[in-house]
Amino acid sequence: MSAILFDRIDEPGLNDIAVYEKRGGYEALKKALTVPTAGIIEELKASGLRGRGGAGFPLGTKASFIPTADIDKYLVCNADESEPGTFKDRELMQKNPHLLIEGMIIAAYAVGANRSFIYIRGEYELQANILEEAIAQAKASGYIGENILGSGFSLDLVLHRGAGAYICGEETGLLDSLEGKRGNPRLKPPFPANQGLFQGPTLINNVETLATIPPILRMGGSEYAKLGVENSAGTKLVSISGNVQRPGNYEIELGMSSRDIIYGLAGGPDEGRTVKFWFPGGSSSPVLTADDLDLAYDFDTLAKAGTMLGSGAIIVVDDTNSVVDVALTLASFYKHESCGKCTPCREGTTWTVKMLQRIQDGEATPMDLDIISSVQEQIIGNCLCVLGDAMAMPVSSLVTKFRAEFEEHIEAARERNGLGMTPPPASEEPALSL
């Protein structure tokens, strides 16, 4: 398979508009501006492209939800990329910023948006500077501004730097931050397609999704749909990190074997080490084990396995790591990043960290594992946004799949503290005889 998004990605000077145009850059935009907007949306639907930010919602369908009325509409690019283990969008923005900009202009034209924003995380200073220069070049060349290429369509594009908060990767939290408010998630409905930025209809997608639009229009939606597998069309940028020999970003065709990705592309763990478990879609996805390495890497297969493709970030954990350490580190991150707006997330993340710390410190009993699992059940599906679920789902999967290791850790830690054997769970204690 030839690369699409990473096609000659390391070509010197690709972030300059002259080099990008020599490679056919902005030709898809010129073509798009000559066809009805409904035709572009139909091409996106035909491509089968599902959002690459985490939710996996079809882009064409999402774009069709934007009202056609002549009112202020907005396009927002989510370049926050705050999911741990994810760094693919960073490379796209740094090396080929005009691909994203061209995709945004086409998407804005398709839904009738005249104002667009790139919301980039504050830590991406280098990438933000590159994007600002690319936006200036696109404006100077007539691709952004009034009456673009004589089409009658006008668009303003603004780069907005966030302050660095996981919650602003959630689309409604991002919109609040973009409006100058504290980044808190909104109650849905209404959804952004009807009432988003500044209360106007808003199409919001991540960098990889929008950057895929120009290649789709060049190839044709039906041709793009031939890549990948049913209901998971196209290619996907996968960030691989953790205990692998060749970490980095790779472009794969969806449906590829997970083993071929982890071992074939990334080299697998160091010699003598084995995969203990792995996160298939960033730290917020329920973990899989070595027994799951032969699963196809696509949306539906991973969903059937009880996890998700998410942002496409594979984090590999080998047999040198403690499952308790991983769970505590993960839970501590989400506790720190919780905005505190809703009780299940605010209290649930706090109590999960406290209980995992008890296990780490040798103060827990096996009963604590049941309490941890119960807390996760109370979080999942009961929060305003998915941040609570992002902690609860992987923690729950770790406790379920590695309960024996948790219990061994509890026993060993208690013995180190001189507490002796742990008592049996309350339900197994013998009745008192008087």
Residue pLDDT, tens place only, 314-344: 999 999 999 999 999 999 999 999 988 889 9
Q: How large is the average pLDDT for residues 389-412?
A: 94
Signed CA dihedral, 370, 374, 375, 381: sign only = positive
Res. 433 pLDDT band, cuts 50 70 90: very low
User: What integer pLDDT is reported at residue 420 of this predicted model?
Assistant: 60
| Per-residue pLDDT at 415 exceeds 90 | no
| Cis peptide leading into residue 97 (ω within 30°) | no
- Domains of the chain by start residue, with CATH: 17-225 (3.40.50.11540), 228-318 (3.10.20.600), 323-416 (1.20.1440.230)
User: What integer pLDDT is reported at residue 315 of this predicted model?
Assistant: 97
> pTM, whole model, 2 decimals?
0.92
| Cis peptide leading into residue 190 (ω within 30°) | yes
Catalogue the long-range contacts made by 252-255 (C-beta closer than 8 Å, 24 or more residues apart).
252/1, 252/297, 253/1, 253/227, 253/228, 254/227, 254/228, 254/229, 254/297, 254/298, 254/299, 255/228, 255/229, 255/296, 255/297, 255/298
Cα–Cα nearest to 134, from 178, 175, 102: 102
- 409 vs 429 pLDDT, higher one: 409
Helices (H), 305-365: 323-337, 343-361
User: What integer pLDDT is reported at residue 333 of this predicted model?
Assistant: 95
Q: Pairing state of beta strands 156-161 and 115-120?
A: parallel
Say how far apart CA 76 and CA 156 lie, in whole Å. Answer: 12
Bridge partners, 204 (sequence order) = 76
Q: At residue 155, what is the residue type?
A: L
| Per-residue pLDDT at 89 exceeds 90 | yes
Say how far apart CA 178 and CA 172 lie, in whole Å. Answer: 10
User: What integer pLDDT is reported at residue 423 of this predicted model?
Assistant: 57
User: What integer pLDDT is reported at residue 316 of this predicted model?
Assistant: 98
User: What integer pLDDT is reported at residue 251 of this predicted model?
Assistant: 97
312 and 286 in contact (C-beta within 8 Å)? no
Model confidence over 181-229: pLDDT tens digits? 998 999 888 999 999 999 999 999 999 999 999 999 999 999 999 999 9
17 and 135 in contact (C-beta within 8 Å)? no
Q: How large is the average pLDDT for residues 45-57?
A: 89
User: What integer pLDDT is reported at residue 430 of this predicted model?
Assistant: 46
Q: How large is the average pLDDT for residues 64-83?
A: 94
Q: How large is the average pLDDT for residues 250-269?
A: 97
Say how far apart CA 239 and CA 250 lie, in whole Å. Answer: 7
- Those residues whose C-beta lies under 8 Å from the C-beta of residue 350, and which sit 6 or more positions away, are 335
| Per-residue pLDDT at 31 exceeds 90 | yes
Q: Average pLDDT over the chain, rounded to whole? A: 92
